[in-house]
Chain A
């Protein structure tokens, strides 16, 4: 399923990477520990996290993740946004919790 469709259905706000939303999402991964996400996320996953600093961009780039969703109304740090734009990683935000995003995404994808 395309990231644009998910973003619309779950009412995510797009912070950057608007032009990249036509990529396919293979599934989701929830994690705030970067090593856990490095080890266990899969290519094309949408990463659901509460980490907002710039280091999330390298993780998403290294693991070929489809994008990052920041939960509970968290906003990305300015340098995270800048890096994400350069690296081509969409960052989206939502007021929902990780649990709610994961649940809704699971239903959408199944």
Chain B
């Protein structure tokens, strides 16, 4: 099987109304392409958590996904407050979410750990008051 696809999605911060829709669209698109379900599951979790992070914390952000025959590369760039302490942000249970976000069942400090668990390769860089960049690679096993 040979997969080739790329697309960018712009996400507005603070808009919980459509939260998850980009991830659902990506999942359906990849499903139609015939991406194996275990890979789909990991992509769905990684894109969903990234999307929720943009909506929860940033002014806006872009999710870029590229599917090649070997792997799926997801780049996320946001215009947000940045992360002061990356080590803390990557720790399960740590969150800076406000009460409103928590009441909806977000902000449990599981987002980034979930993304890491679904990635074969993960990098997070951030600059305070500028934004955060994530690069997620999920390998497609062909056997």
Residues of A within 8 A of B (CB): 32-36, 38-39, 43, 49, 51, 53-55, 57-59, 61-63, 79, 87
Interface residues of B in 88-134 (CB under 8 A from A): 104-106, 108, 110-111, 114, 117
B117 and A33 form a contact (CB under 8 A): no
A58 and B24 form a contact (CB under 8 A): yes
- A55-B16, A62-B23 known; A38-B104 Cβ under 8 A: no
Query: What residue in chain A is nearest B106 (Cβ atoms)?
Result: A34
A35 and B17 form a contact (CB under 8 A): no
Q: Secondary structure of the A side of the interface? A: helix
B17 and A33 form a contact (CB under 8 A): no
Kindly state the separation between the CA atoms of A86 and B141 in the bound complex, as whole angstroms: 33
Kindly state the separation between the CA atoms of A32 and B102 in the bound complex, as whole angstroms: 10
B20 and A39 form a contact (CB under 8 A): no
CB distance from B77 to the nearest CB of A (A): 21
Kindly state the separation between the CA atoms of A53 and B23 in the bound complex, as whole angstroms: 17
B49 and A35 form a contact (CB under 8 A): yes
B21 and A58 form a contact (CB under 8 A): yes
CB distance from B117 to the nearest CB of A (A): 7
B44 and A63 form a contact (CB under 8 A): yes
We find that the number of chain B residues with CB closer than 8 angstroms to chain A is 23
A59 partner residues in chain B, CB cutoff 8 A: 20, 48
A49 partner residues in chain B, CB cutoff 8 A: 105
CB distance from A30 to the nearest CB of B (A): 13
B24 and A53 form a contact (CB under 8 A): no
B37 partner residues in chain A, CB cutoff 8 A: 43
CB distance from B52 to the nearest CB of A (A): 8
Residue contacts A-B, CB under 8 angstroms, 6 given: A34-B104, A35-B110, A39-B117, A58-B23, A59-B48, A62-B23
Interface residues of B in 52-98 (CB under 8 A from A): 52
- A38-B49, A53-B104 known; A58-B19 Cβ under 8 A: yes
B111 partner residues in chain A, CB cutoff 8 A: 35
Kindly state the separation between the CA atoms of A79 and B21 in the bound complex, as whole angstroms: 14
A54 and B17 form a contact (CB under 8 A): yes
CB distance from B99 to the nearest CB of A (A): 15
A62 and B105 form a contact (CB under 8 A): no
Q: Supply 8 further A-B pairs (C-beta < 8 A) apart from A58-B48, A59-B20, A62-B45.
A: A35-B111, A36-B108, A39-B117, A58-B20, A58-B21, A62-B24, A63-B41, A79-B17
